[in-house]
Each structure stands twice: as C-alpha cells, then as structure tokens.
Amino acid sequence: MEGMAGQKSGLVWAVNIAAFLLVLLWTIPTLGLLVSSFRDRDQILTSGWWQSFSPQEATGFVRTGTGDDAVQQDGLYVIEGTVLEEGQTLIGWGTRAREPAAFEPGETAEIGDGWQVTVAEDGTYRMTSPTPFEMRRGERIFVTTGAPARLTTENYNRVLTAEGLGRAFMNTLTVTIPATVIPILIAAFAAYALAWMEFPGRALLTAAVVGLLVVPLQVALIPLLRLHNELGIGKGYLGIWLAHTGFGLPLAIYLLRNYMVGLPREVIESARVDGATEFQIFRRIILPLSFPALASFAIFQFLWVWNDLLVATVFLGNTREQLVMTGVLRELMGSKGGEWEVLATSAFISIAVPLVVFFAMQKYLVRGLLAGSVKGG
C-alpha cells in the first residue's frame, strides 16, 4: 500500500518504532553474549556487558591484614597494604557497605577505638591503632575502583586450546556432516517414489510419514540404545549417525515429497517419451530440479544435529573425548558457572557456525519452513 493517498505519517512512525523495539528486544540477548565473549575475565564478573565500553567502575571490599600483620611504628600499631589490583584506579572508598565511596582518596577515616584508616590515591592503605590489633579477621575497606574497559580475544585462544573446545568442535562436525548427507540421499529416493510412482499403499505410507514427524524422540532413546548394543554398534559415531538419520528421515521425506509433487508432470512425461528410465529421470531431472528442497532440508538437519544435546548425550557418551559442543557447554554451565568468560566464549563459538549457515542460506530455510510447517522441533 505504499503510495496510497492520505496515509498518516504518525502511524508510519509508530510502526517503525514498534518494529525497531521488537527487533532490539530479540537481538539484545545474543548481542550480550557476543560482547561478553570478548571481555576481560575480571571485568565480566564486576559489571554488565552493556558497560563494557565505558571505564569500569566497580565496588567491592578488601580485608585488611589482621593483628599478626601489624608492625609497630612510632608507638602506633600499623597495618599496611593495598586495596587495588593491577590496572585499577581508586575512585573512592569507605568503611561501611552502605557508603562504599564515603571518602576521597587520601582522606583519613576514624573507625573508633582510636583506629584510623587512610587510603592513598595509589591504593595503599595504612591503618593505625594506639593499641595492638586483636581481630582475627581483617577489617573491610570498601572501595570503588575504576579500570579502563578491556576487550580481548584471549578468551577465544584459551577456550579453543586449553578448554578442549577445539576437540568438541571437531566432534560436532564429525557428527553433523554424515548425519546431514546420508538422510538426504535415502529420503530423496523415497520421496520420489511417494510422489511419482504408482503402487498400492502409497497413501498409507505418506500418511505414516506425516504421523512420524511428531513422534517425540525421547520415546526412542532406550529401545534404540539397546538395539545398538545388541547389534554391536554400541555408543559411538556410527550409532549417532544412524540415529540422526532415522530421526531426520520423516521431515526429509515429507519436505522432498511435497516439493517433488509440485514439479510439472509434463516434464517427467516428456523425459519418459525421450526414453529415460525411472532411474535416469530421478537422477537427471528430479534431483537437479529439487535442489531448493534438498538445500532446505540440509539446513534443517544441519542445524538440528549441530544444536542437539539429547541424542548426543545418549548415543555418543560423555567422556572428554566424545563430547560435542552442546555437551561441553552443559558441563561448563554446571561445573564452571563462575568462569563467565569461558562460558560466553564457548557458547558463542558453538552458535557461530549455525549462525553463519543461517544467514548465508536463510532463503532456503524459509522456503523449507513454509513447505514443511507441519513439523515441529
């Protein structure tokens, strides 16, 4: 309706703004992960990712030394130390949690019992008392510190080498590619038979494929694991390839059949008049013409296998050598919940490949979705 007369510009603006907000809302979480993955490991713990480009102001506290650390100077008992870490600057300090920046650097605070604390600009503190310190735990000095924003690619180096994610990346790739290619081949033939060959039971088989689309694969885990054990496949790559092939087939057949049915009948008949056999028709006419549908399914299956956790956990095993990236992520979330930079970086590496595939082949993904929207998950 572009160019329609009398359109209100206010409405156009409202739509633009609303759409922008919606897009922002949907993008921010991923953006947060991306930014976080480049942050310094200390800064990530003390400030939100949205603050990563401004100097880092952080509050915390430092405990002073205890009575054992005190030395006698000029009749006073003195404890000295620093409240700052490498690279930090002191913005303010205090002695109570409520007021972490009550004092300027260089000022002196009275704590009571004649105790005095001075924190200098360089972060060194000096606590003095006329009587010996007798506390077993140090006093808390609350500090507000500043540090220059620091973005780094260190995390990526570290995660890819030391944390074993490189290995997991290879594992994932090893699982994904055969598990994407093999079902396509099997499904393409089956789809052609369902779409263009006459045989008894065709409608029934097609209905069965539609029905199998929604079977929760949780149902299949234990029976298949036992089946694999009995066949001697056990846990390993072969098992997971077969499993993903089986689970991916209904969607593959459904998508391809729907696409092939839509190919013009006359083209196929023409090939028949030209003397092509069924196999030649399939290979030289149907397969090339079905490329968009093949691409659609390939993307689906790729994303699904790459992102899968359940099937990999069950069929591949959980040793360090066998973990796929989703498995590593899961472990990290459990065991290294505190190491945010590792988590963020690993997560981003694991979603990077799907995102690249997604943006590069979005057209086919959308087309496939539209053709196969009966399927879920």
Partner 1 sequence: MELFWLAVGTIAVGVFGCVAWFWGSNWILDRIYPPRGLNAGDNIRKANQIRPWLFLGPAILFLTAYLVYPIFDSLWRSVHNARGTDFVGPSNYAWLMGDGKFRESMRNNLVWLLVVPALSTLFGLLAAQLTDRLKWGNIGKSLIFMPMAISFVGAGVIWKFIYEYREPGENQIGLLNAIVQALGGDPQLWLTLIPWNNLFLMIVLVWIQTGFAMVILSAALRGIPEETIEAAILDGASPWQVFFKIKVPQIMGTIAVVWTTVTIVVLKVFDIVFVMTNGQWGTQVLANLMYDWMFRGTPDYGRGSAIAIVLMALVTPIMIWNIVNAQREVR
Partner 2 sequence: MADLTLAGVAKSYGEVHVLKDINLDIASGEFIVFVGPSGCGKSTLLRMIAGLERISAGTLAIDGQRMNDIPPSQRGIAMVFQSYALYPHMTVRDNMAFALKIAGKSRAEVQEATDRAGRMLQLTPYLDRLPKALSGGQRQRVAIGRAIVRDPKVYLFDEPLSNLDAALRVATRIEIAQLKAAMPDRTMIYVTHDQTEAMTLADRIVVLAGGGIAQVGAPLELYERPVNEFVAGFIGSPAMNLLPGRVTATGPLTTVQLDGGGIAQVAIPTRAGDEGMRVNLGVRPEDMRETDGPAIFEGTVDLTEALGEVTLLYFGTRGEGVPVIAKLPGIHPGLTGRVVRLTADPAALHLFHDGRSLLYRDGVELPPYQPRASAGMAMQPPA
Q: How far is the CB of 19 from partner 2 (least distance, A)?
A: 35
Residue 307 DSSP SS3: helix
Judged by CB under 8 A, the residue of 84, 209, 285, 349 near partner 2 is: 285
Task: Report CA 140 to chain centroid distance, whole Å.
Answer: 38
Total site size for partner 1, rule CB under 8 A: 122
Contacts of 222 (CB under 8 A, 6+ apart): none
Q: Does residue number 278 form part of the binding site for partner 2 (CB under 8 A)?
A: no
Can you tell me the distance from the alpha carbon of 126 to that of 93, in angstroms, rounded to the nearest whole number? 13
Q: Does residue number 369 form part of the binding site for partner 1 (CB under 8 A)?
A: yes
Q: Does residue number 46 form part of the binding site for partner 1 (CB under 8 A)?
A: yes
Residues 249-278 that bind partner 1 (CB under 8 A): 249-250, 253, 277-278
Give 272 or 375: the residue with its C-beta nearer to partner 2: 272
* Cα-based distances in Å from 146 to 35, 77, 80, 90, 154: 20, 30, 21, 6, 21
Give 29 or 264: the residue with its C-beta nearer to partner 1: 29
On whether the CB atoms of residues 75 and 130 are closer than 8 A, the answer is yes
In eight-state DSSP terms, residue 135 is -
Contact stretch for partner 1 (CB under 8 A) within 79-87, 133-141, 154-162, 198-206: 198-206
Q: Does residue number 64 form part of the binding site for partner 1 (CB under 8 A)?
A: no
Q: Does residue number 373 form part of the binding site for partner 1 (CB under 8 A)?
A: yes
> Among partner 2, partner 1, none, what does residue 314 contact (CB within 5–8 Å per kind)?
partner 1
Q: Does residue number 269 form part of the binding site for partner 2 (CB under 8 A)?
A: yes
* Token pair in block for residue 368: 């496939």
On whether the CB atoms of residues 297 and 180 are closer than 8 A, the answer is no
Beta bridge partners of 142: 61, 94
How many Cα atoms occupy the beta-carbon half-sphere of 20 within 13 Å? 6
Q: Which residues of the shown chain bind partner 2 in the complex (CB under 8 A)?
A: 264, 266-267, 269-276, 280, 284-285, 288-289
